[in-house]
Structures are given as C-alpha cells and as structure tokens.
A and B are shown apart, each in its own frame.
Chain A
Amino acid sequence: MKASVIVFPGSNCDRDVAVSLEQAMGQKPNMVWHADSELPPSDLIVIPGGFSYGDYLRCGAIAGNAHIIRPVKEAAEKGAMVLGICNGFQVLTETGLLPGALMRNADLKFICKDAPLSVETSDTPFTKGYKQGQTISVPVAHHDGNYRADEDTLDRLEGEGRVAFRYADNPNGSARDIAGILSENKRVLGMMPHPERCADPLLGGTDGKALFTAIVEELS
C-alpha cells in the first residue's frame, strides 16, 4: 500500500497524520508538496488539517486550486482513496470531490474540544472498523466547520448512506449534525474531527485508530 500526504503552506496536521499512517501501515507515507504537479503512485491520499494559505479568501479555496490537486482528482477518479481532515475536508469541498461547503461556526468561536460522534455507517472502506450507531470521541479544532448544502444534496447524502459521522452534540451548527461525508463511490471521506489526534494512547484516546486500520486493511 502506498500513501501520500499533501503538504500546503500552513498545513499543521500533516506530520501527525503521517505518524498515524506509519503506525497503521508499518511504513512512512510520501509527503508531497503542494506545488508539485506530479503525485507519486498512491492508493491513499490524505489532505491534512491546518490553515492552508492562511485561510485567505475562504478556507481551502487557494489549496483547492493548487498544482497538486489535478493529479489528486485524477487519482480519485481512478478509485484511489482520499481522506480530508478538517482543512482537508474544506479543500475537498472546494475541489468539488465532495458536495457542499463549510462555513464559519454558528457561534463564531474557534472550537477545540473532544466531540462525541455517532458512526452513521460501517459499510465503507473508512468506517468498517466501527459498528453502525457506535459513539466515538474524536477531537475537533476548527473555526469553519459548519457544514452547508442545499436540501436536495442533504437528502441525497442521507439516502445514499454517505453521511459517515454525525455530532452527538452539534458544536458548530452543521446541517443535520453532519461531521463527515463520503463521495458517491464511498472512497473519498471528508471530516472535520481529527482521528489522527486520537490514534495512540499517548494522545489520550484511541477512537480514531480504527479508521486508519480499516484503510490499511482495504488497501493491503
């Protein structure tokens, strides 16, 4: 299995997720700079959390048009798995790989805390290590995590089993408590909470670990 983590100026969870991946896969992922226009062969591409380009214009807007995004989209079209965490989720909506948009939190505050999440489906390559309906605790740390999409899109996401995680106690005003969504083929996942921040006992929690283990099982 080959994994790549895309690094933008302002990414700050790239090394954390690289550690989680290395623990799950037994080898280091490629760290790929945003200005590269070629992506090494990758079964998994991670767009990490952070503040790419200082969140200028809109969160994820500039990163969504970086050189590396074209090969990322091409790889996704060929069936590579893509995981966008926090700012990575914002980038994925800006690229059109996932529908909707992430707006300023409803109470305007930056929220940094552990968030209980409900696993909405275990029938995906990302979430098969969880039980449907299981509650897990995963940290959130964002200012713009308020998920928005039109009603038709929200209905379609729910109808097609593409809501991966919901907040048990909605911290940011997200439509229908959505914390993470999947692409149509369920191989692209965007989520605001940070599974890489709870994938090792040293970090105070391990609820995120099953997500990385599931990806490695799927791709090995």
Chain B
Amino acid sequence: MKARVTIMLKQGVLDPQGKAIEHALTALDFDGVNEARQGKIIELELTETDQAKATAQVTDMCEKLLANTVIERYDIELMD
C-alpha cells in the first residue's frame, strides 16, 4: 500500500516561501491569487495491507518525525 503524506504550515503561521511565490505570480501578471502556501509531499511504500493499521502507523511517523506539529499540520492519503 502507498501512503501520501502532505505537510503544510498551520494556518496562522506565516509562510515566507508561500508569500514569495504569491509575489512572483503577481509580478508575472497572474491576477486573482489571494494566497500561496508551500508545503511538501512524502510518499511511502508500505508493506502493511490493512487500512486502519497503515493509518495508525503513518500517523505515528508524522508525530515522531515527518511533521513538526508546533508549526505544521499533516494529511495522510492511502492508495492501493
């Protein structure tokens, strides 16, 4: 099973890289971008086949290593 973890800065935490992207888009005359935020995606190939167990395992990975929950939030998506 494959897991895709998306890690983003929490709402309310200033994202300077997102801001720079937003400004660059405006400079290129792309109108209508209210906000840009940058995050990262980590894809994991898991041996686990049970969805619930895989979710629990990846949640543990996020809490211990993949995300810093002081400033970041994470979403887990499982794919067959």
Does B1 sit at the interface, judged by CB under 8 A? no
Report the Cα distance A148→B66, complex, angstroms: 18
Does A108 sit at the interface, judged by CB under 8 A? yes
Q: Across the interface, name the chain A residue whose C-beta is closest to B65.
A: A65
Q: Across the interface, name the chain B residue whose C-beta is closest to A109.
A: B16
Does B52 sit at the interface, judged by CB under 8 A? no
Which chain A residues (92-124) contact chain B, with CB distance < 8 Å?
93-94, 99-101, 103-108
- Provided the pairs A101-B70, A148-B70 are in contact, do residues A65 and B16 lie with their beta carbons within 8 angstroms? no
Report the Cα distance A106→B14, complex, angstroms: 8
Q: Report 20 cross-chain contacts, Cβ distance below 8 Å, ordered by A residue.
A: A57-B66, A61-B65, A65-B65, A93-B70, A94-B68, A99-B70, A100-B70, A101-B68, A101-B70, A101-B71, A103-B9, A104-B17, A106-B14, A106-B16, A107-B16, A108-B20, A148-B13, A149-B70, A150-B70, A173-B14
The minimal Cβ–Cβ distance linking B35 to chain A, given in whole angstroms, is 17
Does A58 sit at the interface, judged by CB under 8 A? yes
Tell me how many residues of A have a C-beta within 8 Å of chain B: 20
Does B53 sit at the interface, judged by CB under 8 A? no
The 9 closest A-B pairs by CB, nearest first: A101-B70, A101-B71, A108-B16, A104-B16, A101-B68, A106-B16, A148-B71, A58-B68, A108-B20
Q: Which residues of chain B have C-beta atoms less than 8 A from A99's C-beta?
A: 70
B contact residues vs A (CB 8 Å cutoff): 9, 13-14, 16-17, 20, 64-66, 68, 70-71
Report the Cα distance A103→B13, complex, angstroms: 10
Q: Across the interface, name the chain B residue whose C-beta is closest to A100.
A: B70
Report the Cα distance A190→B22, complex, angstroms: 33
Report the Cα distance A218→B70, complex, angstroms: 33
Report the Cα distance A149→B66, complex, angstroms: 19
B20, A61: Cβ atoms closer than 8 Å = no
Report the Cα distance A155→B37, complex, angstroms: 28
Report the Cα distance A107→B16, complex, angstroms: 7
Q: Which residues of chain A have C-beta atoms less than 8 A from B14's C-beta?
A: 106, 173
- Provided the pairs A148-B70, A148-B71, A149-B70 are in contact, do residues A105 and B16 lie with their beta carbons within 8 angstroms? yes
* Residue from B20, B66, B71 within 8 A of A103 (CB atoms): B71
Report the Cα distance A101→B68, complex, angstroms: 8
Q: Which residues of chain A have C-beta atoms less than 8 A from B16's C-beta?
A: 103-108, 146, 173
The minimal Cβ–Cβ distance linking A150 to chain B, given in whole angstroms, is 8
Q: Which residues of chain B have C-beta atoms less than 8 A from A61's C-beta?
A: 65, 68
Report the Cα distance A104→B5, complex, angstroms: 21
Among B16, B65, B70, the one with the most A-chain Cβ atoms within 10 Å of its Cβ is B70
